[in-house]
């Protein structure tokens, strides 16, 4: 089955997703979870893990094409989704940038790993670059590798 929403609906969904700092996929999935009253943290964790992998793949593809602005956003999105996956595993839901930052600070405190917050700063510089487009390609490539290190660190915390 393929969903074919109207352009008007798609535009409203995109605007709502942007206003909430979410991807369209994440917004729709969360709306379905709420509508169907699905409270299962494992299902939410799985959604965020799948989105993380999707964004990592798309980010790599954009790097290969030389589209560093789009690559920046995809790698930032991958980091945010992995963080949301860990939060979901703990029964938490991160709904804002502030909550993402607070959760990273909590992880740093719990693990004693300063790299977690430093790598998160790098991921956020990519998010900024999506809007500003100021970073040179070699720094975007380095930051993408740092995001992968952050994701690996968070993945280990999920075990």
Same domain for 47 and 31? Answer: no
Same domain for 62 and 103? Answer: yes
Torsion of CA 49, 55, 34, 20, to 10 degrees: 130
CATH number at residue 118: 1.20.120.330
Same domain for 133 and 56? Answer: yes
Same domain for 80 and 66? Answer: yes
Same domain for 1 and 75? Answer: no
What pLDDT was estimated at residue 17? Answer: 84
Same domain for 61 and 91? Answer: yes
What pLDDT was estimated at residue 2? Answer: 74
CB 26 within 8 A of CB 17: yes
Of the chain, the end-to-end C-alpha distance in Å amounts to 35
Q: Could you state, in chain order, the average pLDDT of each consecutive group of 10 residues for the chain (159 residues)? A: 81 86 83 87 93 97 98 96 96 91 97 97 95 94 98 95
CB 28 within 8 A of CB 68: no
Same domain for 53 and 34? Answer: no
What pLDDT was estimated at residue 1? Answer: 63
What secondary structure does DSSP assign to 33-87, as a single string? HHHTT---HHHHHHHHHHHHHHHHHHHHHHHHHT-HHHHHHHHHHHHHHHHHHHH
Same domain for 81 and 48? Answer: yes
Range of the domain at 21: 1-38
Looking at the structure of the chain, the number of domains it has is 2
Same domain for 52 and 31? Answer: no
From residue 85, how far is each of 12, 26, 53 by CA, in Å?
Answer: 26, 12, 11
pTM here is 0.88
């Amino acid at each position: 089955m393929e969903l074919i929403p109207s352009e008007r609906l798609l535009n409203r969904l995109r605007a709502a997703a942007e206003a909430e700092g979410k991807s369209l996929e994440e917004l729709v999935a969360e709306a379905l979870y709420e509508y169907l009253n699905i409270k299962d943290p494992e299902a939410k964790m799985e959604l965020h893990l799948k989105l993380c992998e999707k964004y990592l793949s798309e980010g790599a593809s954009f790097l290969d094409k030389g589209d560093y602005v789009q690559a920046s956003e995809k790698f930032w999105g991958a980091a945010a989704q992995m963080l949301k996956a860990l939060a979901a595993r703990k029964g938490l839901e991160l709904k804002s940038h502030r909550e993402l930052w607070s959760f990273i600070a909590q992880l740093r405190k719990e693990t004693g790993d300063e790299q977690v917050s430093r790598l998160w700063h790098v991921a956020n510089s990519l998010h900024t670059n999506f809007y500003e487009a100021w970073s040179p390609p070699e720094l975007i490539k380095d930051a993408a590798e740092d995001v992968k290190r952050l994701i690996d660190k968070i993945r280990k915390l999920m075990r």
